[in-house]
Amino acid sequence: MNRCFYLLASALFFFACSDDNGTNSSENAKTAEYQQVAIDKKNRRITVNQDAHTEEYCILQQGSFSWGKVSYEANEGSDVTTYEIHGDTLVVFFYGMTDDPHYYLGGSTDKIYGEWKNIGCYKYQDKVNCPSKKERDFREQYEELVLTISENKFQEETVYKPAYFKFDDYMNSVYLPNLYGALRNDFAYTTIGMFGTLFSPEQESYIKNIESSFDIEVLEQTKTAKKFKMDGKTYDVKITDIKRDSLDYKVTISVKSGDKECSYEERQVNVTKANCKDQTTEGLQNYDAERNFQDTLAIRGTIVNTKGLDKFDKCIKEISVTTQK
């Protein structure tokens, strides 16, 4: 029987499977009690060893949720990461994947232990591309991706700032460019969280550039509603209901053109021991009842449930513009 794991942290989603005799390490687990990190400075290698241990999860099995424990066998030396140091920059190749470098600042290059901030650089066709310091400073007002390296912790996680939870100018979020793309028949995410980024930092100048490029005329706008004209069609997008509490949220969104209205609901919950049994598989993101029903799914962090998303996506296609530019 397969044992599969939903390993989640904040808005990041990880899905992994192993057989009953295998082990899987989560980068988002509490590691101090069972993880040992060895640094080989000569060969620039980071090796993570794990003792046999158990971890608590919200477990989904055959459609029901319950709080329980998952056992892991000892794992010595199979998780090997390489790194390089260039000036004040740490470059990490997780699991030795040299074609996918991650770039960090903020620690000490003399002593690799410490906290390092991911600066958002990426390598494409042998060229390293980085956001400007102004762009980094702007985003870091809201969130940071932090890599912690110590003798018993090797973990990257998102750290949300107070400004992230206060942000409420939803019509200036990245959700709008994604919606514009969907209405233009381009590939785009219409979900609210994760890739949809309704809760992203304010992107007003970026959105105005897109609106100018595609001749999108904004007719009316508030923080929760926007009326605009695109390719001769008029659209109304509205947040009809929203509730937020830390990482938990429940949002209903509506997009209307003419007499046709598309709407759906999305809910994110940070799963805990107290609320585990109250969760439902109805609309559970990345869950397929037919494929996953017999699997044991272990959940940590946040989960997302949607209501009416398939109909919403279909409806958006029906009201989208008929030509691509």
Note the pLDDT of residue 174: 85
The answer to whether residues 223 and 96 belong to one domain is no
Helix (H, G, I), strand (E, B) or coil at 242: strand
pLDDT recorded at residue 4: 43
Residues 217 and 303 placed together within one structural domain of the fold: yes
Contact 254, 262 (CB under 8 A): yes
The tens digit of pLDDT for each residue in 14-47 reads: 333 333 322 223 334 455 678 899 999 899 999 9
Structure token pair of residue 269: 């919950």
User: Stretch 52-56: mean pLDDT, rounded?
Assistant: 91
Mapped onto helix, strand or coil, the DSSP state of residue 94 is: helix
If pLDDT is split at 50, 70 and 90, which confidence band does 295 have? confident
Chain segment 262-294, per-residue pLDDT in tens: 999 999 999 999 999 999 999 998 888 888 777
pLDDT confidence tier of residue 197, bands split at 50, 70 and 90: confident
pLDDT of residue 194: 60
DSSP 201: P
Domain residues for the domain of 152 are 35-160
pLDDT value at residue 8: 38
Count Cα neighbours of 186 within 13 Å in the Cβ-side half-sphere: 10
> Quick one: what percent of the chain has pLDDT higher than 90?
50
Same domain flag for 119 and 198: no
237 shares a domain with 211 = yes
28 vs 305, more confident? 305
Strands (E), 62-194: 64-72, 75-86, 89-93, 102-105, 114-118, 122-124, 127-129, 143-150, 153-160
- Mark whether 248 and 138 lie in a shared domain: no
Q: Which of 151-155, 165-169, 187-191, 275-279 has the highest mean predicted lDDT (pLDDT)? A: 275-279
Domain count, the chain: 2
Quick one: 102 and 118 in the same domain?
Answer: yes
Could you tell me if residue 29 is inside a domain?
A: no
- Final residue of a structural domain among 97, 125, 160: 160
Instruction: Look at residue 3 and tell me if it is in a domain.
Output: no
In this prediction, residue 77 has a pLDDT band, given cuts at 50, 70 and 90, of: confident
Domain boundary among 133, 160, 187: 160
| Boundary-marking domain end, from 160, 189, 204 | 160
Smallest Cα–Cα separation from 239: which of 185, 176, 182? Answer: 176
Residue 181: Cβ-neighbour burial (10 angstroms; 0-12, 13-18, 19+):
middle
* CB of 142 closer than 8 Å to CB of 163: yes
Specify which residues 270 forms β-bridges with: 302
